[in-house]
Structure 1
């Protein structure tokens, strides 16, 4: 009885082993058939004709989407002007930018190298425009550029004094307005600077009174007005010895009847603030 029982166990174990091997083989064969079934010619469960129809569907579908996108983009581009932005409600008034120019101890002199187009030799190639009059040229495809020579800034031009006043403790600050297409400042626009301290700080402006001549306006955009240079105003801080080693905070505003320099949501609209400290 014992031998018979042992024999039955061996038979069951053998059958279980064969069954396990057969299952593994079936799984392998099933995986191979799923990838490619030679009997039906299917690849990944689909015949060649089925794959062809699917690819054709997606080709037509995505081709239609691409065509619709291209059409809508083309229609939208037809409504845009190449030279003038369609929406300018957020840039009705310009901001300001300052440049600290010092060729000896300040690295920011690199800004001057970016503005070589203000050199007199280059500006002489531009047009002489009527002082105090807008240079309107709507009908011209390429707009002319009015001369603004670097020498106009006189003591702050970097020509008579390459240190821009820093060596004598009376630094020059260069101010320019950001470009706004179509802007026509009314009246006599100018830059006005004030020091935030109890006693007034003496300053000297170049050109005189910090004027921004109207002949440099309007600006027609980078494409139509490629060589345009906006006018600059230089402010020379006439610091005294008692002003040395004290940080001076100066705020400059652009003034004009239609130019805004006060806005609760944009504190830098039409103005710029900078700090200067001169050490002995």
Structure 2
């Protein structure tokens, strides 16, 4: 009769010593256990099913959140406008041409008037900027909404539902592409534009009763001449040297085709084909070989000026060399 209290001795046998490549082969496919990459077929099916359901739920959740979010937006107008928006209700000024992206922090327009390559460099930058203004019609390669643009004036009737005012830049003589924007004559043109703010309407200085004291005297005289006329409804523009030395070096300045942005271009309501109005500032005879700091300001009752925060103004430097 066997002794039930006797313990059956069991011995551990170490796994066979396999080589590196043999171990890798068994990891890829173990014919004894039917495992592929360390898992059986049923194990792979379970984990793949789990991740399929998991990611399907994630995609569905984010799709539902995006659909809900887009229901709160309007493709034609921002939800937050004017003072409620991040950009506020005080438009700033922009200028063209600007230095290339390699000098993104620079605001210097420097060129040699006797060097055709230097002149062509800046002229091509302006050409590229104005290309959208020159496109007409709705044919292949043309700007979307270009057919909506119509010529406007201070006495024009109200625009249609889709119509916007055109900006005929090829009439800005001598600030035209054919004239290379007068750069070769050492009297360069710089284009100014007012930054777009949705539904912003200017409150022009259209009489001489409430002009600010800091407004340049020549602009005050200009407003006095047009006071009471339809063309007085304009966001005025002035460009001056920032410092006394700059004032002496800047020379005569012309504003083409007019000294500001007519009020009939506003408000901006994101109509297709809309273009910001432009003013070409012609610096007729700036002193050559000298760096000139220039500040241009936009003037309206609801544009507030702050030099240090660049509110209602723009700064750039101009240096024309003849050597």
TM-score with structure 2 setting the length? 0.62
Q: Separation in 2 of the partners of 1:28 and 1:120?
A: 68
TM-superposed deviation, 1:72: 0.8
Runs of 5+ unmatched residues, structure 1:
1-18
Structure 2 counterparts to residues 216-231 of structure 1, below 5 A: 216-221=265-270, 224-225=271-272, 227-231=273-277
Q: Please list the CA deviations of residues 135-192 of structure 1 after superposition, one character each: whole Å capped at 9, or x if unmatched.
A: 777xx4xx32212222553333456xx1433444433222222333323222131211
- Contact kept in structure 2, 1:175 and 1:233, CA below 8 Å: yes
Which protein is richer in helix relative to its size? 1
TM-superposed deviation, 1:26: 9.4
Q: Separation in 1 of the partners of 2:280 and 2:20?
A: 85
Q: Higher mean Cα deviation, 163-172 or 228-237?
A: 163-172
Q: Please list the CA deviations of residues 19-62 of structure 1 after superposition, one character each: whole Å capped at 9, or x if unmatched.
A: 99x84259988766554443443334433222212211111111
Q: Higher mean Cα deviation, 268-277 or 28-37?
A: 28-37
Q: Separation in 1 of the partners of 2:321 and 2:51?
A: 70
SS at match of 1:59: helix
Runs of 5+ unmatched residues, structure 2:
1-12, 98-108, 138-145, 205-233
- RMSD value, Cα: 3.8
TM-superposed deviation, 1:109: 0.9
Q: Separation in 2 of the partners of 1:43 and 1:124?
A: 65
Select the residue among 262, 282, 296 that pairs with 1:236.
282
SS at match of 2:182: coil
User: Could you say which residue in structure 2 is the equivalent of 1:95?
Assistant: 93
SS at match of 1:189: strand
Is the counterpart of residue 81 in structure 1 residue 95 in structure 2?
Answer: no
Select the residue among 194, 205, 215 that pairs with 1:177.
194
Q: Separation in 1 of the partners of 2:274 and 2:170?
A: 18
Change (3 A) 1:263 1:250: closer
Change (3 A) 1:120 1:70: closer
Q: Separation in 2 of the partners of 1:116 and 1:39?
A: 73
Q: Separation in 2 of the partners of 1:219 and 1:144?
A: 12
Change (3 A) 1:41 1:272: same
Is the counterpart of residue 111 in structure 1 residue 125 in structure 2?
Answer: yes
User: Could you say which residue in structure 2 is the equivalent of 1:49?
Assistant: 42
Q: Separation in 2 of the partners of 1:156 and 1:34?
A: 76
TM-superposed deviation, 1:134: 10
TM-superposed deviation, 1:65: 0.8
Structure 2 counterparts to residues 125-144 of structure 1, below 5 A: 126-131=149-154, 140=161, 143-144=162-163
User: Could you say which residue in structure 2 is the equivalent of 1:150?
Assistant: 169
Q: Separation in 2 of the partners of 1:78 and 1:132?
A: 40
Is the counterpart of residue 164 in structure 1 residue 181 in structure 2?
Answer: yes
Q: Separation in 2 of the partners of 1:134 and 1:111?
A: 35
